[in-house]
Amino acid sequence: MNLTLTLVTILLSTQLFAQLPEINIQNLEGSYADPSGSARADSFRFDHINFGDNPQLSVEKQAGVLFLTTPEDEIQLDFLPHQINKLAQLEFQKTSIQTSGSSLNVSVASVNGSSREQNLNLEVLTLACSGGDETDLPQNIVLDSCLTQKAQATLNHFEAGDQEVRNLKIDIDQGELRFWANVLGKNIYGRGETFFDKENQVIKIRIDSVKWKFIKLTGRVFSELEKLENEKVTVQRPWITIEL
């Protein structure tokens, strides 16, 4: 069951949120075979960089950092999720990201990739957050919206190696967390709470319960989550703590 909680953690705490500027990217799609590739979009604005309409982009990865370039400018993405960053080959379709005030909207039609360890397939991801304090810094606004106000995420299908998740849904309302998913044919349900410490730039996720039918899986899930610990992520039941 560890893949579902891994996905929950990715969707709630990716360091993309910690550095998120104003973005308006529509229908970005492309591919690369490590270390380079190409991409295009209907429109692409990232913070102060505006590639305009229908830009053609070069894609290059160096030391875990992804560079998107045109003859006029360059964007450096050094905060991609590990599951994406480690792929040697990657193809992505119809990816749109938009921030406006306290709102964040993300949609991804598909991501397919491979590495020496495993293949990865993701189909139809959506994320929508709103309600944060619009007077704060952009990254704080988004984290406040997604973790303490209103957020919904859905994922139709995710497969990596021998793990498979279907029909993942995450709902956060005023910090109250609920999630559902079909994992290897089993429908599971979980609940907890999410918190954002703006002053210390720390995300805390409390997982109170994970169940399949009437069988409690919370202890098993935390045993798996402990394997994800690193210098930024600490797991101590019932808490997952992420330093940004």
Residues 112 and 120 sit within 8 Å (Cβ to Cβ): yes
* pLDDT score for 151: 93
pTM, two decimal places: 0.85
Residues 22 and 82 sit within 8 Å (Cβ to Cβ): no
* pLDDT score for 18: 53
Residues 109 and 133 sit within 8 Å (Cβ to Cβ): no
* pLDDT score for 7: 56
The three-point CA angle 116-86-88 to 5° equals 55
| Distant-in-sequence, close-in-space partners of 26: CB < 8 Å, separation ≥ 6 | 41, 42, 43, 44, 96, 98
* pLDDT score for 83: 67
Distance CA 188, CA 213 (A): 7
Handedness of CA 110, 14, 174, 131 (dihedral sign): negative
Tokens standing for residue 114: 């491979």
Tokens standing for residue 187: 């429908």
What tens-digit pLDDT sequence spans the chain (244 residues)? 555 555 555 555 455 555 556 789 999 999 989 889 999 999 999 888 889 899 999 998 887 788 889 888 888 877 666 667 778 898 999 999 998 877 889 999 999 999 887 788 999 999 999 887 777 777 788 888 889 999 999 999 988 877 788 999 999 999 999 999 998 788 999 999 999 998 898 999 999 999 998 899 888 888 878 877 888 889 999 999 988 8
Distance CA 110, CA 112 (A): 7
* pLDDT score for 3: 55
